[in-house]
Each structure stands twice: as structure tokens, then as C-alpha cells.
A and B are shown apart, each in its own frame.
Chain A
């Protein structure tokens, strides 16, 4: 009984007792969640267009952030470095299309998936060779991102919002919104969904696969860059950032691999769930549950809705 009380009642009593702490926790979860949504959209983008789970997206985040910081260290002004990094991501997209996707066209999905592993290790090697393996500081100030915190008195307590978190939430939300628009409302978005459904038919109406792939990987590169900047500013820029890609996996399971709204909602659920779980239920097992709770939530969802919250339910005639 005591254990059940601690699991099912006590946390909610605590939430009620200190609502300001609850708001603080939800806020932190929200910020992480928006960033998860963003990175998950990067996956959805590539998955819908080429049916590949792009394992390399995590390292693309690191690579983009490292390029940006590395260039500024070489004395390039911050905004010029940002523009150059966008250029680098474009070159990377073209290179991936030429060297990886085009030769592997019509191969089974698992081959392409393995190719993204190869790409991951290639980018790790390239990144270390050019920028070294030591962690770097994100150029927060040069990019004009705010520092410090705002304290808001609320609900009889104090909620402290890091300014960088506010910026991250705003920028990531904007990026998520524009990606969603791009997907649903533009000709390229329609072409992208068309390619996802049938390569053959897409080719027959004159959609160029090569072009679509470049667009998709470049967009994923931009997503990686934005994520890298925001995530890097909240901690530091190192190869450990790559792990964010693995955080997107439960988001995708939750939201469905093909759904834009799914990635958004999934990211928020995982982000907020993680923080609430850590804060209110973590102490029961001595803390540290944040790192696996996301997978636990995703697993629970898989049992109930294998296709995800918004994923396509596949019905096949046999």
C-alpha cells in the first residue's frame, strides 16, 4: 500500500503543494520537448522522402555545430560563419545524394539504413580531423542569443526561466511551424509526399528524385544546425550531442515515423514526461530515470498503438 501511495498519490500531492515547482518542471520539459520535436521532424522528413531512418542525423547536429564554432574560432564573424555553415550543410546534402543515395537507389531499405551508419562514422572522423575532439563553447553571445534568467513570481513562488531556453523554445517552434507548412502546403512538400508513396509514379509525373533528395537532406541539415545551436548553447558542443538522435527515437515511436503533427506532439510528451518523471517519480528509485524514461513511455505506447499516435495504419490484404 505504501508503495502504491508513493507512486500514484504522493507525486500529485507534491504537485499541488508547490505549483510553482510544477510550472518550472513543465517549462523545462517543454523546452527540451520542442527541441526533440524539431530533431524528430528532421527524421520524419528523410523517412517520408526516402524510407530511410537516418541514423546520421545525430552526428549532423554535432557536425553543424562544430563547423559553426570552428569557423568562428578561426576568426570568421559569427553571422558570416552561420551563412557558411548553411553552405556546408548544402554541400553535404549534395555529396550524400551523389555518393550515397544515388548508387544505392532501389536497394532494400536496410542497406540504406546501414549506409547512414557508415555516414555517421565518416562524419565523426571528418569532424575530429578538422575540429579536434575536445568540447567547445557555443558562440551564444556572438549570435546575439540572450544570457541569464528571468524570475517570474507565480503561484506563491518563483519560476525562473533561462533566457536561452525562451529563445530556444521560440526559435524551435518557428522552425517546427515552417517545416510543417513546407510539408503540407508547398509544391515541393506535395512532391515529397508523392516520392514517399511511389518512386515510379513520382518519376512518371516528372518529379526528379535527385532534386527531392537534395532538398530533403539539406533541410535536415538546417534542422541539425538549429538543434545544434540551441542544444549546444544549453550545454556544450561535443560529440556527446549525438545522443539527441537517440532521444528522437522514442518521439518517433510515439508520434509515428511519417507524421508531422505526431513528431510535434510526441516531442512535447517525451520532453515534459521526462522532466516530470525525473522530478516527481525519480526519487523513488534513487533518481536518474530521465535517461530511460522516454524509452519506457514509448514502449508503453507500442503495446497500445503500434502505429504511433498519428502514424499511418497499414492494412494489408493477404
Chain B
């Protein structure tokens, strides 16, 4: 894996921190004064009821949205306005709640597109498939093949992804994010709409990515069982505010969290 730019961050250090992030769309406040951090090498879950602002938070982290107030610090650099391409270049990859793949392209091409930032040879060389460009293509193809093996999607290498069942599409999307060799991987409901078997596979992949590659993972998930099993720490949002932050066990005992999920008892 590529050496990270900037200061050396070891396991356990804060790699990404949101500080007092607020986000508004006109009159609607999606996030209000949210602060939390993500440590290198951990699996960090973001949970909360529907409309709590979880996806908005991910969108702020990878630059789709810019916080109206507050800032995001990534690898020691504070960036109030980061564009998605800058986030990607810095090592943030993500998947989407409703898969966003390049549907007309094959699995292989989708994963290769994930490496576009890493390919540098001029396009004249690439068009001619000659010399250094050819070597580069081969080298990246090799990296992509490793990911294909890792995710066990060899059989669908040349299938246009639009034709794949939903569970596999989600897996290809994870593969495309992995192809970027990210330092931080944002997963927006990686198990939504999956059956039990697919969920178990996905859990295994997430844990393997985290352990084998040391990739830091932030994930949004609704399946509480999954969240409690996978994550090292959990941040809980409700109506755009942070209501709890801690280990799964701590969060599970938190009264506000219980209230948010089960409804408040009106005395």
C-alpha cells in the first residue's frame, strides 16, 4: 500500500475528525454541531433513526456537501471546503446507500475506474497500448484482480454490472472503493436489502478489509446486531444532533439512545 501523505498516522491516532459540523439546506437543518473523531484502524459505526443525518455526515466527509459551519480535519489538515476529487485523492473512498455503479461497464472496468487516480501515463500512450502505459495497465489490472479474488467475484468479471443481482452489485461497489486503496472507507448501509447469507458475507469482507489491509472504516448500518458485532466505537445521531458516542456496550445502555430507538415513555 502507498505511503500516506503528510504526517505519519499510526493505529489509534485520530485520522479524521468532525468539529462542530452543522449543515443546513435553506431552512432545514440536517446536522447541528456534530463533533466526533475516527481513529486509524478502527471500525466506526454511525447509527440513528431515519433522517438523523447519517448520510449527510458521510457526504460532508467525502466532500459532496460542505458544512455550513464547523470543519473536518483529515490527516491533520483542516478543510472547510473539500471537493470530492480532493477527498478521493487524499484516500477517502465510499459506497452509496443505493448502489451507484457504472452500470453499462463490466465489473472489471468498474474496478479499473476506481484506479483512475492512480494511473498517470498520458492517454496517447494508453491508446497505443505501448511501452510504459502498457506496463501501467498490467500493474493496475493485477491489483484489481487481487481485489476480485478477495471479494470472490471472479465469475462476474466481464458481466456488465447493471445485469447483476443487488447483493453482488453491492459487492462490486465495495470492490471499486477498495480499488482506490483508501485509508478511510465510508460505507453507507453496506447490507441494506441483503438476505442473511449475503449479510454474513459482507460482514466477513468488512472485517477482512479492516484487519488485512488496516483500512479505517466508517459505516452506517441499521441492523443493530451487525453494528454491535462489527464496530469498535459507535456514534449515535438523532435529528441531526449527536446523542451518544462510545463503545457498542456503552451506547446500548445509553438512555437517550434507547429512547430514540424505542420511543420515549411519556410519564
A and B are interacting partners: yes
A197 within 8 A of B: yes
Q: How many residues of B contact A (CB 8 A)?
A: 32
0/1 interface trace, chain B 97-137, chain A, CB 8 Å (1 if under): 00011111100010011101101010100110100000000
CA distance A196 to B109 in the complex (A): 14
Is A206 within 8 A of B100, CB to CB?
no
CA distance A271 to B84 in the complex (A): 44
B22 within 8 A of A: no
Closest Cβ–Cβ distance, residue A134 to chain B (whole Å): 39
In the complex where A187-B116, A187-B119 touch, is A200 in contact with B126 (Cβ < 8 A)? no
List, in ascending order, chain B residues with CB within 8 A of A189's CB: 123
A178 within 8 A of B: yes
Is B127 within 8 A of A185, CB to CB?
yes
Is B85 within 8 A of A194, CB to CB?
no
Closest Cβ–Cβ distance, residue B153 to chain A (whole Å): 17
List, in ascending order, chain A residues with CB within 8 A of B117's CB: 205-206
In the complex where A197-B105, A198-B100 touch, is A205 in contact with B126 (Cβ < 8 A)? no
Which residue of A has the minimal Cβ distance to B114? Answer: A205
A128 within 8 A of B: no
Closest Cβ–Cβ distance, residue A185 to chain B (whole Å): 5
CA distance A258 to B102 in the complex (A): 14
A208 within 8 A of B: yes
Is A205 within 8 A of B112, CB to CB?
no
List, in ascending order, chain B residues with CB within 8 A of A182's CB: 123, 127
List, in ascending order, chain A residues with CB within 8 A of B113's CB: 190-191, 194, 202, 205, 207
Is B109 within 8 A of A190, CB to CB?
yes
0/1 interface trace, chain A 192-204, chain B, CB 8 Å (1 if under): 0110111011111
List, in ascending order, chain A residues with CB within 8 A of B105's CB: 190, 193-194, 197
A73 within 8 A of B: no
CA distance A187 to B127 in the complex (A): 9
CA distance A186 to B129 in the complex (A): 9
A151 within 8 A of B: no
Closest Cβ–Cβ distance, residue B137 to chain A (whole Å): 9
A188 within 8 A of B: yes
Is B103 within 8 A of A197, CB to CB?
yes
In the complex where A185-B126, A185-B127 touch, is A206 in contact with B103 (Cβ < 8 A)? no
Is A194 within 8 A of B102, CB to CB?
yes
CA distance A210 to B167 in the complex (A): 32
A181 within 8 A of B: yes
A109 within 8 A of B: no
Is B127 within 8 A of A178, CB to CB?
yes
Is B127 within 8 A of A205, CB to CB?
no
List, in ascending order, chain B residues with CB within 8 A of A197's CB: 101-105
Identify the B interface with A (CB < 8 A).
62, 64, 84-85, 87-89, 93-94, 96, 100-105, 109, 112-114, 116-117, 119, 121, 123, 126-127, 129, 176-177, 179-180
17 A-B contacts (beta carbon < 8 Å): A185-B129, A187-B123, A190-B105, A197-B102, A197-B104, A198-B102, A200-B64, A201-B101, A203-B85, A203-B88, A205-B93, A205-B114, A205-B176, A205-B180, A206-B87, A206-B116, A208-B85
5 nearest interchain CB pairs?
A206-B88, A201-B100, A197-B102, A203-B84, A186-B123
Identify the A interface with B (CB < 8 A).
178, 181-182, 185-191, 193-194, 196-198, 200-208, 258, 312
